[in-house]
Amino acid sequence: MLDVGVCPDRIRSDMPAPSSRRAPAATIERLDRDRQAAPQVYERLRNQIVSLGLPPGSPLSRLALAQQFGVSSTPVRDALMRLEAEGLVDVFPQHATVVSQIDVSRAQQAHFLRLSLELEIVRTLALDHDDALIDRLLDTIALQRQHAKAGDFESFSFADNIFHQHLYDATGNRELWKLMRIRSGHIDRLRRLHLPTPGKAQEIVSLHRLIVKAIAERKPDEAQARLRKHLSGTLGYLEHIRKQFPQYLQG
């Protein structure tokens, strides 16, 4: 079973202006009463933050969130504490809680972690893999192509996570996938800012296909080269992103 979090609510493909400040939408559905509330609040808020449905600087009212999700203040507090630990919210005691700016240093460290893990993963898979993995990866790429054509960047990003999780699962590294995802909030927000750039989604699809081709043909060096190019894309455009969204970034 895939573990990529709740599929994010769709938002506009164009990013909000840097000066945008808004509270969480009141239309998010109620929680599943068969699950603990705090993890669900955390998942919903994290997805909104990473997708930029809640851009940097957005205020988060504990009272409003409790009313929105139909819970007491305790699950909201616990969820915000987890988000604060990831650097995704800033908590100012007795004053306010806001979505944090994108921390470039954290994004760079997350990129280093992901690159280190996935270079070894694709090498391992190119040397030894189940052919059924290739079919799963190609099916996911087909979904990404559809979402890119429709301009549905939220579903595209969700499918992108599924693609990479398949790689971790195929090497028995699901716990490393979970660790990487926890560390990836800042780099994921940079990627979300970069994704609407014309041709970017199509480039990701193309590089995914080349990674899979190298794995299928059992060419570990080529698989690593394709992966390195794929993961370097967003940080290579960092200054462009900074100029376009100066109030979203710090560091």
pLDDT, position 137:
98
| Domains in the chain with CATH codes | 37-100 (1.10.10.10), 104-241 (1.20.120.530)
pLDDT, position 7:
44
d(CA 185, CA 113): 13
- Residue 104 and residue 249 in contact, taking contact as beta carbons nearer than 8 Å: yes
Q: Which residues contact 51 (CB under 8 A, 6 or more apart)?
A: 8, 9, 11, 154, 157, 192
Question: What's the count of helices (H) and strands (E) in the chain, helices before strands?
Answer: 11, 4
d(CA 91, CA 50): 18
Q: pTM (2 decimals)?
A: 0.84
Task: Kindly tell me if the per-residue pLDDT of 115 is higher than 80.
Answer: yes
pLDDT, position 101:
97
Once rounded to an integer, what is the mean pLDDT over residues 91-105?
A: 92
What is the helix (H) or strand (E) element at residue 165, kind and residue range?
helix 153-170
Position with higher pLDDT, 192 vs 29: 192
Average pLDDT, rounded, for the chain: 89
Q: Mean pLDDT lowest for which of 15-19, 85-89, 104-108, 184-188?
A: 15-19
Position with higher pLDDT, 25 vs 206: 206
pLDDT, position 35:
86
Once rounded to an integer, what is the mean pLDDT over residues 42-59?
A: 96
Per-residue confidence band for 29, with pLDDT thresholds at 50, 70 and 90: low
